[in-house]
Amino acid sequence: MEMMKAAGEWLAGRDPAEIAEKAGIDYDEKTNKFSLISLGTEVYVHYPDYEIEPCVE
């Protein structure tokens, strides 16, 4: 969890569209969610709190 906190602090205040472009993932401005495929599962990351769904352990 410490890594998530550090990453969230580093990303705070950054433009989500720019984050998505640099990461090569989609960002939906209407829902404020990034979406990506990880290990065959579609994962959503909420902006700006970076909550991940489904929960990744």
Residue-wise pLDDT tens digits, 7-38: 777 777 899 999 999 999 999 999 999 999 99
Residue type, 40: G
pLDDT of residue 1: 66
3-state DSSP assignment of residue 5: helix
**50 pLDDT band (50/70/90 cuts)?**
confident
Q: Supply φ then ψ for residue 2, to 5 degrees.
A: -60, -35
Q: Which residues contact 2 (CB under 8 A, 6 or more apart)?
A: none
Report which secondary-structure segment, H or E, holds 6.
helix 2-11
Q: What is the pTM of this model?
A: 0.80
CA dihedral 42, 47, 50, 51 (to 10 degrees): -60
Residue 17 has a CB neighbour count (10 Å cut-off) of 10
